[in-house]
Amino acid sequence: MRRILLGLAAAVGALAFALGIRRRVVLRNLALAFPEKPEAERRAIARATYVQFARVIVEFLLLPRLSADEVRRIMVFEGWENFETGKARGKGVIACTAHFGNFEVLAAANTIAGTPITMVSRAMGRSRFNDLWRSTRAKAGVEDLVVGRGNVVRGAIRALENGRVLGYVIDQNEPSHHAVFPTFFGVPAATSPTPAVLARRTGAAVVFTVAIPIPDGRHRVLIEGPLDVPDTGDKAADDLAFMQQLNDLLERRVREHPQCWYWFHRRWKRSGDAPASTPTSTPTSAEGSPV
């Protein structure tokens, strides 16, 4: 049944691409990131992204039906020793990830398999789909720490003290004036410095992790780190340098597996707000105006 549903999901994803749902945004993002690639190759990546995203939704919704043993069988870990090294420091672990592969399965599968995850997330609007998404997270044991003024640090510290791993998605556009602007594919991207701030305040270890789908239906989970926040005395510069390191790690994985990143969202929405000293690049394709 799982294979049948995943096959249907792939067909729905291909149909969504053919119908043009957010296709313009996806193709602009791809032109911005890969101006050197021919248009036909970027369109092929775009189509594969839609297929991958549809499969992500089905996999995540089916996950609570699986036993812990079944979950362990679909996860292939590389670099687990890096997580253990960070955990051994005794201050907790912040696992930075991105909208890459099935990051929701990554969080839920680790929780089901015995490593409880608390995800830092933004409030979702009320809808049946969003309610279903939150409910599925809860059924898998993933705790939501919804971002709100003044509650992130307190909630994060409480989660770390309770032995939970704090999951943080680093590639969301940060709308507030607290944003730092590391480059992503050479273009400034408004980014929250929260992982750097939390690591400095709590002493928690930071690892970077993504889950890459493999053809047999399993997920290859890569864990890198622990990563240390620089300590030069200039907190703003240190935050920027640390978030640049994380963005560089993500960019490397996106270049390796471009269909796995979610090109649907406007990652470079605030690139024009970056400090003048931040290097920028512009797309050369006619499809690729800044997003």
**Annotated domain spans of the chain:** 2-271
Report DSSP letters for 162-174, one per residue. Answer: TT-EEEEE--S--
Q: Average model confidence (pLDDT) for the chain?
A: 87
Please give the residue that has the higher pLDDT: either 159 or 223: 223
Average the pLDDT over 84-108 and give the result: 91
- In this prediction, residue 126 carries a pLDDT of 67
Q: How many of the other CB atoms lie within 10 Å of CB of 143?
A: 18
Measured CA to CA, the distance from residue 159 to residue 144 in angstroms comes to 10
Q: Which of the given ranges, 38-47, 207-216, 282-291, has the highest pLDDT on average?
A: 38-47
CA dihedral of 205, 211, 212, 217, whole degrees rounded to 10: 150
CA 133 from chain centre, in angstroms, equals 16
CB 42 within 8 A of CB 30: yes
Q: Is 145 helix (H, G, I), strand (E, B) or coil?
A: strand
| Listed range (23-32, 53-62, 247-256, 258-267) with the worst mean pLDDT | 53-62
Please give the residue that has the higher pLDDT: either 274 or 170: 170
Peptide bond into 226 cis (omega under 30): yes
Measured CA to CA, the distance from residue 223 to residue 249 in angstroms comes to 11
Token pair of 186, please? 């050479």
Token pair of 241, please? 């340098």
Q: State how far the alpha carbon of 47 is from the alpha carbons of 32, 104, 252, in Å.
A: 17, 21, 21
Give all strands (DSSP E) within 170-246, no chain letters.
183-184, 187-188, 205-213, 219-227
Count of alpha carbons within 13 angstroms of residue 192, beta-carbon side: 20
222-231 residue pLDDT tens: 999 999 999 9
Measured CA to CA, the distance from residue 221 to residue 162 in angstroms comes to 24
- In this prediction, residue 104 carries a pLDDT of 81
Place of tokens 């691409």: 17
